[in-house]
Each structure stands twice: as C-alpha cells, then as structure tokens.
C-alpha cells in the first residue's frame, strides 16, 4: 500500500524509525528530538504498544514522555482489530501531533492494525502533517514492505528474510532494526534483492532516521545507520538461487552514516553532515 496522498497544501509529517533500545534516561536525544518536532510540551502524543506482549510497555512510555515535559501523552490499548474502530482512539489520533509505536513483534502490528480505521487514520494524518515514530518492531512496520522476520548473517539468501505488508507510510525505504547488534545485513540485502526499487535502512540500536517530507533523512543517536542503495544494481542471482544458496548482487552502493549524516532519496546522495 503506497503512502496516502497529500491533503491540500499540507506538508507530510516526519517518519522516525528507531533501531530499538533508545536511551530513555541519561540523554534521551532521540525522544527529545521527537518531542521537539511534535511541538514541544504542548504536543499531544498517542502511544501504541500493540507490538508488545508486556502489559506495562505503554504505561512506561507514557511516564517517559511526561517526564520529558509532554502533558498530553496517552496510551491507546489496541489489542484486537475491533479496538481499531474505537471512536475515542480515532479521535485522539485525529487531534495528535505525534504517534509513537513501541517495540515487540511487528506481526502483531500488521495483523492487528493492517487495513483498519486506525491504520488509515495514521496514514492520512501523517500525510497532513502528523509525525510518526516507531522503535524496533514499530520501525519495521512503517514502510509499505515490512521485514517480518529472518535469520542472521551477512550474505543474502532466498530464505534469509520473511516479508509482509506494512503500514505504508513510505514506499521509498525498507527498514531493519537492531542492525549491527543482530548481524542483519544479509536479510536486508535479501529484501532489497526481491525489490530493488526501495533503499534499505539498517538501524543500529539507540539510533534513528528522522525522515523529512520529501524523503531526505538525518541520523540522530549514538550508533550508525547502514544505507543500502540498489538503484544501480547490474546483476542479481536471486532468480535462480535455491533455499540456502548465497546470492550474488553486483553494483550495490552502501553508506554508513552516524549522527548528523544525511541521505537524500531523490538524488541518492549521502553526506556526513
């Protein structure tokens, strides 16, 4: 599902995928920056903990955002697809400046929210200026094509990744998280071999991509982002590879960006700051 179309002259909101394990106490740079773009202390932020099976995940983020000065942070306890039709949840998202999706299992997000009124409202509101952040599973769920699972390792292989439809806030990127910590280069390369149209973003922990309207991104956080650009791919053996076989990819460009680094999806140019 492609991103929602713009509403009138409104500018799209930011999309902020976070690699997981973001710093929450000593120097919560990523969360502080998210609060800032949402408008500061007066912002209204909706917290969606659907990906998590832990009962206190949403409340912990609610307390955290309030500690950061947000007066109107609210957990939307979306557990079933029927919950996604709740008028009170839809109304809150409709008036929010930001949505934050927690970590857990991204398939819980896609199977619960996919195609529902809540998903449609988030997409429509992002198109008209609301900012959407997600950490770990919440980050993976953001694009049109979602990495649902896979195995570790640096070499692509046909069975290295499982894909599923995502929320569809962007069709320009495929996003993976806990990237360096869990050795996920191979599965992101595999995902891109199946769909060389998109650019891959591999997010280290405590690292976020602040994706501006127009699909240029800036790196915030203590780790790095691996940007994989397959636009000049000249050869792939994916079409003839069998399960477990390594896959050859030629002329794939890779960038490692750290805090302040930028990448522009239109020009495919990366720069350090």
Is 131 a catalytic site residue? no
Catalytic choice (131, 145, 178, 255): 178
Q: Measured between alpha carbons, how far is 47 from 57 in angstroms, rounded to an integer?
A: 10
In angstroms, what CA-CA distances link 256 with 70, 218, 248? 33, 12, 21
Catalytic choice (144, 205, 236, 255): 205
Is 205 a catalytic site residue? yes
**Based on C-alpha coordinates, what's the Rg of the chain?**
18
Q: Measured between alpha carbons, how far is 38 from 105 in angstroms, rounded to an integer?
A: 26
Is 273 a catalytic site residue? no
Catalytic choice (4, 136, 157, 236): 136
Q: What is the DSSP string of the chain?
A: -PPPPP-TTPPPPPEEEE-S----SS--HHHHHHHHHHTGGG-EEEEE-TT---TTHHHHHHHHHHHTT-SEEEE----STGGGG-HHHHHHHHH-SEEEE--S-HHHHHHHHTTSHHHHHHHHHHHTT-EEEEETHHHHTSBSEEEEEE---SS--TTSEEEEE---SBSSEEEE-STTTTT-HHHHHHHHHH-TTSEEEEEPTTEEEEE-TTSEEEEEESS-EEEEE-TT--EE-GGGPPTT----EES-EEEEE-TT-EEETTTTEEE--
Give catalytic residue positions. Answer: 136, 178, 205
């Amino acid at each position: 599902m492609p991103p929602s179309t713009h509403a009138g002259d409104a500018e799209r909101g930011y999309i902020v995928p976070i690699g997981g394990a973001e710093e929450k106490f000593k120097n919560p740079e990523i969360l502080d920056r998210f609060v800032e773009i949402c408008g500061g202390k007066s912002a209204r932020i909706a917290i969606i903990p659907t990906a998590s099976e832990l009962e206190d995940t949403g409340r912990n983020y609610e307390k955290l955002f309030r500690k950061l000065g947000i007066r109107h942070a609210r957990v939307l306890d979306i557990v079933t697809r029927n919950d996604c039709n709740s008028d009170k949840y839809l109304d809150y998202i409709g008036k929010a400046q930001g949505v934050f999706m927690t970590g857990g299992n991204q398939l819980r997000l896609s199977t619960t929210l996919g195609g529902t009124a809540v998903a449609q409202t988030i997409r429509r509101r992002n198109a008209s200026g609301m900012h959407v952040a997600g950490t770990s599973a919440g980050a993976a769920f953001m694009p049109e094509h979602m990495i649902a699972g896979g195995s570790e390792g640096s070499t692509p292989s046909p069975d290295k990744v499982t894909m599923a439809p995502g929320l569809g806030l962007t069709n320009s990127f495929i996003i993976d998280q806990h990237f360096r910590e869990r050795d996920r280069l191979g599965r992101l390369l595999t995902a891109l071999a199946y769909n060389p149209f998109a650019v891959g973003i591999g997010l280290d922990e405590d690292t976020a991509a602040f994706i501006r309207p127009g699909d240029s991104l800036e790196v915030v956080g203590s780790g790095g982002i691996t940007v994989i650009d397959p636009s000049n791919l000249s050869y792939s053996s994916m079409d003839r590879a069998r399960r477990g076989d390594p896959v050859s990819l030629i002329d794939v460009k890779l960038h490692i960006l750290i805090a302040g680094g930028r990448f522009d999806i239109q020009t495919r140019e990366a720069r350090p700051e």
